[in-house]
Chain A
């Protein structure tokens, strides 16, 4: 049973470009969470999605960031017009519905030049 998969593992973008981060949840998991980890900081919740629905996006910056989890395919975290401050590790986790354990992917390390 494959775990949570994220790609790419490393992504380099220049300021102003777009970054697309993908997350495939564990088989059978319908809930996806995105977190950001800045250097020397813990994980910050960004958004919680289930298929075709955003449940909680209270941790998402108001501008430039968006997330989706379509009926088919992976969840996508999209960052438009990236800035240097967006450089971080972005982790995705998935779970079954409810208060279950979240299983984490290996993360995508975004570097903005």
Chain B
């Protein structure tokens, strides 16, 4: 069965600090990978996705993620965070297992201090 692990449940950073959120998944086949963000009081929005091709994916708002197949990882990065990045971040995976249901990690709450 697929599963997704996000290593950090809460992260606190100061503005301009660099960010890396870990995400590992377990599934042996071909997967599609996503990072979603949920700003306070809002619904989930897609940050970036990986289906195939260049394993370094660039998303909105300066975020990027790198797919490392050998490590089953898809970590999210941003070189310099802003206060407005305060949100909850979800890593997600789907695969063709007779359907394409998406499995989400438990989420990482990021708080950026101004």
Name A's B-contacting residues (CB within 8 A).
31, 33, 35, 41-45, 48, 55-56, 58-59, 91, 93, 95, 98-107
Contact = CB atoms under 8 A, between A and B. Distances in A.
Interface in B96-113: 96, 98-107
A42 B46 CA distance: 15
Size bracket of the B interface: 20 to 34
Most A C-beta atoms less than 10 A away, residue of B42, B98, B104: B104
23 contacts: A33-B101, A33-B102, A41-B107, A42-B90, A42-B106, A43-B104, A43-B107, A44-B104, A45-B103, A55-B98, A56-B98, A56-B99, A59-B101, A91-B43, A91-B44, A99-B51, A99-B94, A101-B34, A101-B46, A101-B49, A103-B46, A104-B43, A106-B42
Given A42-B90, A99-B51, A99-B96, A104 B44 contact: yes
Contact of B101 (A56, A98, A104, A105): A56
Given A99-B32, A99-B51, A55 B102 contact: no
Contact of A45 (B45, B51, B104, B106): B104
B102 A45 contact: yes
Contacts of B96: 99
A45 B90 contact: no
Nearest to A106: B43
Contacts of B45: 104
A41 B101 CA distance: 18
